[in-house]
């Protein structure tokens, strides 16, 4: 049996693009705050999972929803199970797009959208590969199962739940991001830092740090940061030194006085956590600026603990 694979792909190119775009239209960002039993990670994430499972069902694959957080699409026969691990959740789009991040616009022959490379495009490509093999009627010696996760970008609870209920594949691969293969990635560490009560010391309590906020996910370089400081004196010198800091570092930012509180905002450039060099971390820049101010003990210790990162 000889199959011209390129021809088979070309024949399905239009429908492949249409299905990929439909999947891209779904804003499948983690939304636990509004989660329900039917959609624990939010409506968007669930809709993206359903979209894939419905597609599989329509094409006569065996499909299964596992606890509304993962699912699979399967065909083939045999004892061994080949797993193709994909995910349909995406990180928040962030700011600074020149196109609608969920429209799936094609520009210069490239499809542009949030999640098109990670992992909706590769998911759909792997699905179509399964579809072509199935429709060609090739005999299979293994079962082939696409396993679809919905929490890959955050805490991987989708696979944890999935494998509590389902069998572990004999072998497998994960079509995610660049084609044809990524054979290794650098290590990743996500961590929370907690200060023990009473452990902070030092700093003059001239200015009290009220809030500091930056970043939406662990695996994104934050493109914005905001800090609020309580003060009862004239803020002019603080604003001036903020302006100087922004100029020195070629950054954008702003400040405003709001009922006795001074708010600093700083803009950075977002990028995927695996390529921090492509971004400018707004949180770290703002923290760096704040170490130059006479903050209260908590604020002072917090930002000085970042110091090793600045240098």
Element counts in the chain: helices (H) and strands (E): 9, 13
Please tell me the count of residues contacting Zn ion according to CB under 5 A: 3
Whether 41 contacts 29, CB under 8 Å: no
Which entry of 89, 118, 119, 151 is annotated as an active-site residue?
A: 89
Which entry of 152, 166, 223, 296 is annotated as an active-site residue?
A: 152
Give catalytic status of residue 89 as yes or no: yes
Of residues 74, 119, 151, 166, which one binds Zn ion by CB under 5 A?
119
Burial of 273 (0-12, 13-18, 19+ CB in 10 A): middle
Give catalytic status of residue 152 as yes or no: yes
Report the nearest approach of Zn ion to the CB of residue 185 (Å).
11
Report the nearest approach of Zn ion to the CB of residue 87 (Å).
6
- Phi then psi for 71, rounded to 5 degrees? -175, 175
Report the nearest approach of Zn ion to the CB of residue 109 (Å).
23
Residues whose CB is less than 8 angstroms from the CB of residue 174 and which lie 6 or more positions away in sequence, other chains included: 84, 85, 86
Q: Establish if 217 lies at the interface with Zn ion (CB under 5 A).
A: no
Whether 148 contacts 123, CB under 8 Å: yes
- Phi then psi for 254, rounded to 5 degrees? -155, 170
Question: Quick one: which segment of 52-60, 76-84, 115-123, 251-259 binds Zn ion (CB under 5 A)?
Answer: 115-123
Which residues, numbered 277-306, are part of the site for Zn ion (CB under 5 A)?
A: none
Choose between 3 and 182: whose C-beta lies nearer to Zn ion: 182
Residues whose CB is less than 8 angstroms from the CB of residue 75 and which lie 6 or more positions away in sequence, other chains included: 61, 62, 130, 134, 140, 143, 144
**Bridge partners, residue 209, by sequence:** 229
Choose between 158 and 207: whose C-beta lies nearer to Zn ion: 158
Report the nearest approach of Zn ion to the CB of residue 118 (Å).
4
Q: Where are the alpha helices (H) located in 26-84, listed in sequence order?
A: 43-58
Choose between 122 and 268: whose C-beta lies nearer to Zn ion: 122
Report the nearest approach of Zn ion to the CB of residue 261 (Å).
39
Which residues, numbered 143-202, are part of the site for Zn ion (CB under 5 A)?
A: 176
Q: Establish if 118 lies at the interface with Zn ion (CB under 5 A).
A: yes
CA-to-CA distance for 53 and 58, rounded, in angstroms? 9
Q: Just list the catalytic residues.
A: 89, 152
Question: Interface residues with Zn ion (CB under 5 A)?
Answer: 118-119, 176
């Amino acid at each position: 049996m000889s199959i011209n694979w390129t021809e088979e792909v070309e024949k399905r190119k239009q429908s492949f693009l249409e299905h990929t775009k439909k999947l891209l239209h779904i804003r499948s960002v983690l939304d636990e705050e509004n989660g329900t039993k039917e959609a624990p990670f939010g409506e968007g994430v669930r809709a993206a999972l359903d979209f894939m499972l419905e597609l599989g069902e329509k094409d006569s694959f065996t499909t299964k929803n596992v606890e509304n957080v993962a699912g699979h699409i399967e065909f083939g026969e045999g004892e061994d199970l080949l797993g193709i691990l994909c995910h349909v959740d995406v990180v928040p789009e962030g700011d600074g797009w020149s196109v609608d991040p969920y429209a799936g616009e094609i520009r210069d022959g490239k499809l542009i959208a949030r999640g098109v490379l990670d992992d909706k495009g590769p998911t759909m490509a792997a699905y179509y590969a399964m579809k072509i093999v199935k429709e060609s009627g090739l005999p299979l010696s293994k079962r082939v199962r696409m396993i679809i996760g919905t929490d890959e970008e955050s805490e991987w609870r989708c696979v944890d739940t999935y494998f509590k209920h389902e069998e572990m594949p004999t072998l497998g691969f994960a079509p995610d991001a660049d084609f044809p293969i990524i054979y290794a990635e650098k290590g990743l560490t996500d961590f929370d830092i907690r200060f023990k009560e009473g452990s902070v010391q030092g700093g003059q309590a001239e200015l009290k740090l009220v809030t500091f906020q930056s970043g939406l996910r662990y695996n994104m370089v934050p493109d914005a940061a905001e800090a609020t400081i309580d003060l009862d004196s004239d803020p002019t010198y603080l604003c001036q030194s903020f302006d100087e800091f922004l100029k020195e570092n070629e950054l954008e930012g702003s400040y405003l006085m709001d009922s006795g509180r001074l708010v600093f905002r700083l803009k950075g450039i977002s990028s995927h956590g695996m390529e921090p060099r492509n971004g400018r971390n707004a949180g770290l820049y703002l923290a760096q600026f704040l170490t130059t101010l006479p903050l209260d003990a908590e604020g002072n210790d917090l930002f000085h603990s970042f110091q090793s990162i600045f240098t």
